[in-house]
Structure 1
Amino acid sequence: MRTVENDFVKFWIEDGIMYSQFKKLTEGDKQKLKDLIDLRHEISAGEKQYWCYDFNGLKSYDKDARDYADAHGQDYLFACAVVLNSHITKFILNTFMVLKNPLVPLKGFTRKSEAVKWLKELKEKEQFNNK
């Protein structure tokens, strides 16, 4: 299993799914988000990934960070499943994504197992469609 990490986040790829986890409570400013995206690009090695993005450990994203993510955060991704610790936050995220219609499918979950299941279903569907 290949891993890359910095002082606040760790990435790894396991069974065709890319995972990330914050190593400590982190404020999401533009520089931290840039560092996170750069690290994600490093582990992706120029190939698109299915990403299980665990938000637990992230206090918040400021507006500059969100704007940076909108502009640069979708490279090398097939889909992103976001693991959240709140059903309300999950509802808000999923509602926002329906309204926004992002280039990369993104969906919130409160259980990691459900997030991974969704990513694997998308991956299988993509592989089937490419045959």
Structure 2
Amino acid sequence: MSENYIMEKCIEFWFDKDILMSKFKKNTELNLVNIKEIIRQREEISGGQKQYWLYDLRNATNMSKEARDYADQYGQDFLHAVAVLVNSHVTKFIFNSYLKFKKPIMPFHVFTTTEKAMSWLLELKER
């Protein structure tokens, strides 16, 4: 799968208020091939600089175990903090409960609204 395919069919990246933003296209399946390319692109976009990232997962339909394991091992470089957007409060609760046990190496929190996620990242950035 080519880089252009991933960008066109899978995910968009942009900056808003110096926050790296990304959003998956509708019904994106996060398999190992896609996640490797997404991480590579995010690192390239970061240009060797740590970023505050708002990662919108609301259009993702599935994430394989291999993709989760790969992202956990290789997907944390060049990041100060990550805010993840999900579709429901139940998903948010499950995700945040898991993170209490997982103890991520950077600030990492799950939200259901873009506004709250941006506010949290901007507050961290100001510190």
* Partner amino acid, structure 2, of 1:64: E
Q: Is the 8 A contact 1:80 1:107 kept in 2?
A: yes
Residue 14 (structure 1) shift: 1.9
Residue 105 (structure 1) shift: 1.4
Residue 42 (structure 1) shift: 1.4
Cα-Cα RMSD: 1.3
SS in 1 for 2:20: strand
- Structure 1: distance between partners of 2:61 and 2:25: 12
Gaps of 5+ in 2: 1-6
Aligned pairs for 1:60-79 within 5 A: 60-79=62-81
Paired positions, count: 122
- TM, length-normalised to structure 1: 0.89
SS in 1 for 2:13: strand
Gaps of 5+ in 1: 126-131
- TM, length-normalised to structure 2: 0.92
- Structure 1: distance between partners of 2:37 and 2:110: 22
* Partner amino acid, structure 2, of 1:41: E
Counterpart residue number, 1:19 = 21
Q: Is the 8 A contact 1:85 1:110 kept in 2?
A: yes
Out of 24, 30, 33, the position equivalent to 1:28 is: 30
1:48-86, Cα deviation, whole Å (9 max, x unpaired)? 000000001100111100100111010000000001101
